[in-house]
Structure 1
């Protein structure tokens, strides 16, 4: 836990150790553990040197208010609150505390039905024409899995050779360590088979990662994000109208969801494909291309008085 204030680590050493043990027993990924610990240490700095047994809802509200003052939006504040709920829950389950003040604190209301950022079909085509470098085929396969199978960066990172089935489907380990099966289209399955043949040989025989770095290790999350960011930057150079769009690897997943909605995929099936725990998360994509709304408005077009144009 380098990089954190020494006084905080020393004062809350027992609680942080218990939290770490609990997270490992929950089977959380390393990146989730690190994110939860970062949020928790930020909170502990705000209450130091108060003992956790003496904290209550007021401490939670002060911390969240401080986060807002420092520029955190509702989404970031809710994420920090989720981290703290897990932190206090771990201490209760480890018989160290009796009350979870974070569970008593309501999350911020989010702006609903926010339109997600995504790429159009022709922009995706230009994206794949923008892939460069020595490991072009590997990188193309990574971006294809995000744009045409909806995988998250972490899911691409965790993908193993054995997760690609002879049938052409992939077994994906998603958020909350939940598995889902995605039957890939035949062209995408063929590309994965080719990528497997050209896979870099790992340094260790026990390494089963599907995507391997030039150093023979599992390709890191940071490197996968870099591959996407650099390719998206080249796309922006080709398409000036994208200059103001905040594009990232996750926007490729948005593009996949948008494509599915436009193709007539029902919301429940899309939820399964994306691995969303709640269908409310999936519903943001229904507002991207709602033909029913357009049809309803077209129904009244002949009722608008004529001759109003200048």
Structure 2
């Protein structure tokens, strides 16, 4: 096997132009592969089967290798076996129909309803900027807009009487998103008092404006949001996108139709929206573990002591 490995390394150095670091990684991965094949009685790597490759991936998993590292390892095996077939040193590539291990999708982080309420209470509505900030955060949580969509809203995109706004998403695709009662009220108050005070005699197309008369940047709103979070004691990392996750999570938790949530978020694929069902399942599991007496994680609380004479 080592002779084939030497020939393969010489090939990828000369023909593929790979970096020394990548070549070393391929060599290390293949050495581990050869050792595993030998341990299972496979003396000729050119005769390795798909079952051998799959068994090797299982072994890597048992050793604690993560999905991403397994995928990198399999990539080395693919290049090697394709080389053997191309050089007519093997009849078949056993990695051909092996799926690349995928890392489990990370669940989105979100705020609790109580944390959102705290955040919404932070702006000082007695000031022009505070009233504007209150309206912006209310709209963001009420609609689940991306921060770029929020900052890009123009005056004519918001139909307060009808109770919706028109968001311009990725690829300039427009979608209609309903507005809640509180968000409508705050935008009305902002338009009546705050926006004219901030603009003065200037004219702007943007719905939400700064004292300079221009619209908001994503970075500017992000800084504003983090400042309010610290003000009310929210120490977890916070971004506008986390409010988008919170919007979707809170809807799904309360039984909202997934297709409707997909449309409001502007997801092209329902599979992207389905991640929020996993968030909900994870929360249900944590509640079960904490409170159900038959759960392995349940810890009985000590009974309250009765008062004398009670």
If asked which structure has higher relative contact order (CA below 8 Å, sep 6+), I would say 1
Distance change in 2, residues 1:262/1:304 (3 Å): closer
Match of 1:274 in 2: 265
Of 248, 252, 257, which residue of structure 2 is paired with 1:257?
Answer: 248
Distance change in 2, residues 1:109/1:154 (3 Å): farther
Q: TM-score, normalised by structure 1?
A: 0.55
Is the 2:107–2:278 contact (alpha carbons within 8 Å) kept by the matching residues of 1?
yes
Q: TM-score, normalised by structure 2?
A: 0.55
State whether structure 2 residue 129 is matched by structure 1 residue 135. yes
CA distance in 1, matches of 2:216, 2:205: 11
Residue 251 of structure 1: how far off its partner (Å): 0.5
Q: How many residues were matched structurally?
A: 195
- Please list the CA deviations of residues 176-197 of structure 1 after superposition, one character each: whole Å capped at 9, or x if unmatched: 1110101212222122122221
Match of 2:214 in 1: 217
Greater radius of gyration (CA): 2
Of 147, 158, 161, which residue of structure 2 is paired with 1:153?
Answer: 147
Is the 1:201–1:216 contact (alpha carbons within 8 Å) kept by the matching residues of 2?
yes
Residue 175 of structure 1: how far off its partner (Å): 1.4
Distance change in 2, residues 1:149/1:131 (3 Å): same
Distance change in 2, residues 1:134/1:202 (3 Å): closer
Of 261, 276, 287, which residue of structure 1 is paired with 2:278?
Answer: 287
Moved over 4 A (4+): 291-294, 301-305
Distance change in 2, residues 1:304/1:269 (3 Å): closer
Distance change in 2, residues 1:226/1:109 (3 Å): farther
**Where does structure 1 lack aligned partners over 5 or more consecutive residues?**
1-57, 66-73, 75-107
- Please list the CA deviations of residues 260-282 of structure 1 after superposition, one character each: whole Å capped at 9, or x if unmatched: 10111121111101011222221
Distance change in 2, residues 1:278/1:130 (3 Å): same
Is the 1:168–1:189 contact (alpha carbons within 8 Å) kept by the matching residues of 2?
yes
